[in-house]
Structure 1
Amino acid sequence: MNAPSHLTRRRALQLAAATGAGMAAVAATGPAAASPGGPTSSVFRHGVASGDPLPDAVLLWTRVTPDPTATPGSGAGPRVDVGWEVATDPGFRRVVRRGTSSTGPARDHTVKVDAVGLSPATTYWYRFRCRGTTSPVGRTRTAPAVDAPVARLRMAVVSCANLQAGWFTAYRHLAARGDLDLVVHLGDYLYEYAPGEYQARDVVVRPHDPAREMVALADYRRRHAQYKTDPDLQALHAAAPWVVTWDDHESANDAWSGGAENHTEGADGAWTARRAAAQQAYAEWMPVRYEPGGSLYRRLRFGRLATLSMLDLRTYRDQQASSPLDPELSAPDRTIAGPEQLQFLLDGLADPQVQWKLVGNPVMISPVRFPNGLESRAVEGIAELVDLPVPPVAGAPYNVDQWDGYPAERAAVLGHLRDRGITDAVFLTGDIHSGWACELPADPLTYPVTGVSVGVELVCTSVTSDNLDDILGTPPRTASLTVETAVKADNPHVKYLDFDSHGFSVLELTEEGAQMDWFVLTDRTDPHAAAVWSTSWRVPAGTARVERAAGRLA
């Protein structure tokens, strides 16, 4: 997500609780009151996780602390063997796979195991052992067989979880549901800033460790470790397999192939070294089939119902334009995905073997023009939210860090959908700290007249990171309402917009349609906050349309 500039990152703001008339509350429990998982031992103090489910395999993850010297990022501690088991029951009476993996300081004592030889569409439980200690138990699930009919697929969709800005209560509520096939995290799993640089209005809810901006490998390892000591995050990792990608804050704000807004070569060293450190720590600490030097973008399949193509929109992109009016925006060779990844995306969208083509899309692809008629403070607030490099201009692209800054490549994607008659393409997006439901115009200029849409974009809000009301210093659902109305008026393909809320989304796919529910937190700075159902939007199969749903998912 485009964070505010360094001056505004340190600007004091204050928090107000999120409320909404007619919203139904989900009962709140205490932090980490979720199963599976459980108390974390001194050896397995960072929990367990699984990810990237295939029909016959799933990736398992943990981190061990075999002795007091083996602290994250220290480069110290012994090399040890870690045993693992996979069972079809939580009591491990029916163990179906087991093995041993070695780890040590070279990979920060993290363990990643690809547990193969499993059965499709099956729930499993897993655990690790090291030096006489057993880890918490995790629950995971394999994907359906490639050609299997699938009646339903349900997943959490989350993004932008800044530990300094609040508690991960959203993760706790998701872990307690018990109905998720997987969790899709669309980026900004953690943030690079030092304490006091980017937090919850005027409060650093939980200061970052180390107490400096992440730059070196040890910094990134320690920050990953700090996030994974959060009990609510551990609970959700233990409850379902995750499918993840990074956005910018896993390395530095507004990252691109050759640098980042929040990186200075003189003070921070070479960008190539910093990015390599961030990517190595990510490979070590995340339950993902990725190792440094490989490609993070990948595709998972869920029977004949859906594919999920996860994108990496930071590693290969050209530098962001200097302004929304920069003539460079029209260059036909500007890229956000890179040529190989773009072809990977187009191929996945054209797959005739599956119905729903989901895209894990770290930044918004919908064209959004800056609206007319806003008061100056609202204009400043939006500019700060999306980190515009210059004052915004009505009618110009809203955010050049998104696909709006790479219009030729976006046109190639939308034209591909239109020209091939592809149906049921849904882009799942994070980054922008707000909730959106948008149709993807075949032609943004003619859409107000023709209404021709080639796909849909559903955007989840932030878990904790600042929204527009936080920047404006106003109560939620007050000043932002005028801004939302103006954005939708000038962008009629935007059907739903919430600039204020923090929380999570749940997406369900069936043959008949796709539906996303948005849930918001009553107070991100309260570890006992309730999660409140806000709204639901539905995509009827074969329509490329989004409409308000009759109610939340059962």
Structure 2
Amino acid sequence: MSPGPDSLRRVSIPSSPFSRRSLLAAGGSGLLVPGLMRSGMPSITHGVQSGDVTSNTATIWTRADRTARMFVQVSPTGSFGADCRTYRGPLLTATSDFTGRLDVTGLPSAADVPYRVVLGEPDAHRPDGDSLEGFLRTAPTTGDHRRIRFLWSGDQAGQGWGRNPDLGGFPIYRSMAERDADFFLHSGDTIYADGVISGDVTLPDGRVYRNVVTEAKSHVAQTLDDFRGAFRYNLEDQAYRDFFARVPQVNQWDDHEVHNNWFPHEILDDDAYQEKRVDVLWMRGEQAWREYVPISSRRDGKVYSQFSFGPLLDVFVLDMRTYRDANPWGWAGGGVRPDGGILGTEQAQWLVEAMSASTARWKVVQADMPIGLVVPDAASNGIEAIAQGDPGVPRGREQQIAWILRELKNRGVRNHVWLTADVHYTAAHHYDPSRAAFTEFDDFWEFVSGPLHAGSFGPSELDATFGPEVVFQSVPPHANTSPLEGSQFFGEVEIDPDTEGLTVTLRDIAGAALWNRTLQPRG
């Protein structure tokens, strides 16, 4: 069984300055350096995380074993002595499953920032209890040209493939930790709320995939505590916790945070569920998601948002789940509801306006699902993603994407790159109007990578409406390939401050580069 949260090494805090890179080189166990814990005090159960970093702010997360006061300390040297700044955070209570987040302000830009989460008794006014350290890297300011490196992927603990002690849990996180990334874009399916992890599985080659099984993952998630238990299952992996303690996240969600291929107001036809109303499951699943990932209050309750990383990069995070039409709409063709499609009218307009206003050299769109791959929804005889499986003019949800691409072209928005996961293999797609039925757009790239730790599938059928071409893809040897057999993937983006070229590298479970391409900016 992989190490649980109680296995975190408890040692005294070092007094000498240190860098983030030196701790990365030392390995994960050197990253989580707790302070001394007094007997009977609240303790940290599932590590620390950071997310939604800007040039001077970040959101810090933790979970306690009981009601506790959360504090965050920031130290420019990592010594947490007289130089550290202390923020008094929220009260962690059963209402939020003892999780809590704190938006920390006044951070230095483009800096490695050591932080420490400290727990105290509920009425404490100073940090004097159990603690864990983490690191985050803040974004550069608009005038600061510097190298940017980030990772993306999605799809965690799906298709019954859970933490495997023979693999050391979730091994891809150790590979990603070695890349020294500024941040990680999580493309959704953070958990598989509808996926059961039930025990050992015999693979086609005769090997046995061993699963760590917990009560929370022995059935589909229906109650709020079921959803919370799925997040705790992931966080009980050491490599997973270590990675997220050192690399800030930018999170979006997709379907498996709730139920496979869900859409608003759906009534499930699924015998595994007593609660058939998707809107009820959605409410519970979203609450657990917001409790367990480090999302800033600055998002104002929305999943979609924009994040800026100096003059070279803006990231636009989409929500292709909350505002969508029912899946059968897309399959039937015709129009979309005025407030529907795949993004909803308000979000689609926000995306165009925000990208038009952006002065960043590169505009990365973090999308839940790919544009040109056909992803059917068998349960509704509909379409789950965007592509309709018809190579002609835009139909259904494709019409909203066509409007966005046309507007970006008309407004002179160049250098946009789309990143996604969802389909459980990795690929590079180039979209070109010279190959397309719809031609009112500038050519662009879409890169697919995943899963992080789930069954692998593919390839999916291409729809020619927007002229996609497969430039590269790596797919598994058979459907639902387990993590023990490989075919787990993440992607990496690096922007050179001198040439302003953007290099995409698609990597495997061990971090080996499978393919890369450098894109040069235009305009």
Q: Would the TM-score normalized by the shorter structure come out above 0.5? A: yes
Query: Secondary structure, in 3 states, of the residue corresponding to 1:350?
Result: helix
Structure 1 Cα separation of the partners of residues 149 and 453 of structure 2: 23
Query: Secondary structure, in 3 states, of the residue corresponding to 2:352?
Result: helix
| From 507, 512, 517, the counterpart of 1:532 | 512
Work out the percentage of aligned pairs sharing the same amino acid.
23
Query: Secondary structure, in 3 states, of the residue corresponding to 1:519?
Result: strand
Residues 35 and 235 in structure 1, CA contact (< 8 A), matched pair in contact too:
no
TM-superposed CA distance for 1:328, in Å, is 2.9
1:539/1:398 CA distance change after superposition, 3 Å: farther
Q: What is residue 243 of structure 1 aligned with on the other side?
A: 250
Deviations for 1:293-315, whole angstroms, at most 9, x for unmatched residues?
82111111111111111111111
TM-superposed CA distance for 1:348, in Å, is 2.1
Structure 2 Cα separation of the partners of residues 260 and 538 of structure 1: 45
1:53/1:105 CA distance change after superposition, 3 Å: same
Aligned length: 455
Alignment of 1:355 with 2:366, yes or no, is no
Q: What is residue 105 of structure 1 aligned with on the other side?
A: 94
Q: What is residue 195 of structure 1 aligned with on the other side?
A: 196
Alignment of 1:182 with 2:158, yes or no, is no
Q: Between the two structures, name the one with larger relative contact order (CA 8 Å, sep ≥ 6).
A: 1
Deviations for 1:105-160, whole angstroms, at most 9, x for unmatched residues?
11111110111111211211111222554332100122222x22322210011111
1:533/1:415 CA distance change after superposition, 3 Å: same
TM-score scaled by length of structure 1: 0.73
TM-superposed CA distance for 1:38, in Å, is 5.3
Structure 2 Cα separation of the partners of residues 330 and 438 of structure 1: 26
1:390/1:99 CA distance change after superposition, 3 Å: closer
Q: What is residue 139 of structure 2 aligned with on the other side?
A: 143
1:201/1:253 CA distance change after superposition, 3 Å: farther
1:197/1:265 CA distance change after superposition, 3 Å: closer
Question: Greater shift after overlay, 131-140 or 115-124?
Answer: 131-140
Residues 283 and 290 in structure 1, CA contact (< 8 A), matched pair in contact too:
no
Q: What is residue 13 of structure 1 aligned with on the other side?
A: none
Structure 1 Cα separation of the partners of residues 200 and 404 of structure 2: 36
TM-superposed CA distance for 1:55, in Å, is 1.6
Residues 113 and 137 in structure 2, CA contact (< 8 A), matched pair in contact too:
yes
Alignment of 1:154 with 2:130, yes or no, is no
1:266/1:186 CA distance change after superposition, 3 Å: closer
Residues 426 and 475 in structure 2, CA contact (< 8 A), matched pair in contact too:
yes
1:289/1:134 CA distance change after superposition, 3 Å: same
Deviations for 1:326-364, whole angstroms, at most 9, x for unmatched residues?
333554745110111111111122124211111110101
| From 452, 457, 461, the counterpart of 1:463 | 452
- Read off the aligned partner of 2:65 and give its amino acid letter: T
Q: What is residue 54 of structure 1 aligned with on the other side?
A: 54
Structure 2 Cα separation of the partners of residues 58 and 267 of structure 1: 39
Question: Greater shift after overlay, 129-138 or 264-273?
Answer: 264-273
1:454/1:433 CA distance change after superposition, 3 Å: same
- Read off the aligned partner of 1:354 and give its amino acid letter: A
| From 324, 327, 331, the counterpart of 2:332 | 327
- Read off the aligned partner of 1:159 and give its amino acid letter: G
Q: What is residue 437 of structure 1 aligned with on the other side?
A: 428
Structure 1 Cα separation of the partners of residues 520 and 93 of structure 2: 50
Residues 427 and 456 in structure 1, CA contact (< 8 A), matched pair in contact too:
yes
Structure 2 Cα separation of the partners of residues 186 and 303 of structure 1: 22
Query: Secondary structure, in 3 states, of the residue corresponding to 1:223?
Result: helix
Alignment of 1:233 with 2:240, yes or no, is yes
Residues 409 and 440 in structure 2, CA contact (< 8 A), matched pair in contact too:
no
| From 382, 404, 423, the counterpart of 2:414 | 423
**Structure 2 matches for 1:21-36, cutoff 5 A?**
33=28, 35-36=30-31
Question: Greater shift after overlay, 34-43 or 334-343?
Answer: 34-43
Structure 1 Cα separation of the partners of residues 256 and 522 of structure 2: 36
Structure 2 Cα separation of the partners of residues 314 and 420 of structure 1: 27
Q: Considering only aligned residues, what root-mean-square deviation do their CA atoms show, in Å? A: 3.6
Deviations for 1:196-246, whole angstroms, at most 9, x for unmatched residues?
589978546333541210111111111111211111110111111111110
Deviations for 1:149-172, whole angstroms, at most 9, x for unmatched residues?
322210011111116415421111
Q: What is residue 376 of structure 1 aligned with on the other side?
A: none
Deviations for 1:12-68, whole angstroms, at most 9, x for unmatched residues?
xxxxxxxxxxxxxxxxx9xx74652258988212000000001221000000113xx
TM-superposed CA distance for 1:460, in Å, is 1.1
Structure 2 Cα separation of the partners of residues 228 and 537 of structure 1: 33
- Read off the aligned partner of 1:56 and give its amino acid letter: N
**Structure 2 matches for 1:7-406, cutoff 5 A?**
33=28, 35-37=30-32, 43-66=43-66, 79-93=67-81, 94-131=83-120, 133-145=129-141, 147-162=142-157, 164-166=160-162, 167-177=169-179, 179-195=180-196, 203=209, 205-207=211-213, 209-210=215-216, 211-259=218-266, 267-289=274-296, 294-321=301-328, 326-328=331-333, 330-331=335-336, 333=338, 334-365=340-371, 367-368=372-373, 397-398=388-389, 406=397
Q: What is residue 504 of structure 1 aligned with on the other side?
A: 490
Structure 1 Cα separation of the partners of residues 265 and 475 of structure 2: 31
TM-superposed CA distance for 1:540, in Å, is 1.8
Residues 48 and 238 in structure 1, CA contact (< 8 A), matched pair in contact too:
yes
Q: What is residue 26 of structure 1 aligned with on the other side?
A: none
Structure 1 Cα separation of the partners of residues 53 and 181 of structure 2: 13
Residues 306 and 315 in structure 2, CA contact (< 8 A), matched pair in contact too:
yes
Please, which runs of 5 or more residues in structure 1 have no aligned partner? 1-28, 67-78, 370-381, 470-479, 522-529, 544-554
- Read off the aligned partner of 2:296 and give its amino acid letter: R
- Read off the aligned partner of 2:351 and give its amino acid letter: L
Query: Secondary structure, in 3 states, of the residue corresponding to 1:225?
Result: helix
Structure 1 Cα separation of the partners of residues 518 and 200 of structure 2: 33
1:313/1:115 CA distance change after superposition, 3 Å: same
Alignment of 1:408 with 2:399, yes or no, is yes
1:128/1:260 CA distance change after superposition, 3 Å: farther
- Read off the aligned partner of 1:206 and give its amino acid letter: V
TM-score scaled by length of structure 2: 0.77
Structure 2 Cα separation of the partners of residues 454 and 491 of structure 1: 9
Structure 2 Cα separation of the partners of residues 49 and 140 of structure 1: 9
Residues 155 and 182 in structure 1, CA contact (< 8 A), matched pair in contact too:
yes
TM-superposed CA distance for 1:493, in Å, is 2.3
1:159/1:513 CA distance change after superposition, 3 Å: same
Deviations for 1:373-432, whole angstroms, at most 9, x for unmatched residues?
xxxxxxxxx97xx7586699xxx83599xx986111011111122222321101111111
Query: Secondary structure, in 3 states, of the residue corresponding to 1:165?
Result: coil
Residues 90 and 102 in structure 2, CA contact (< 8 A), matched pair in contact too:
yes
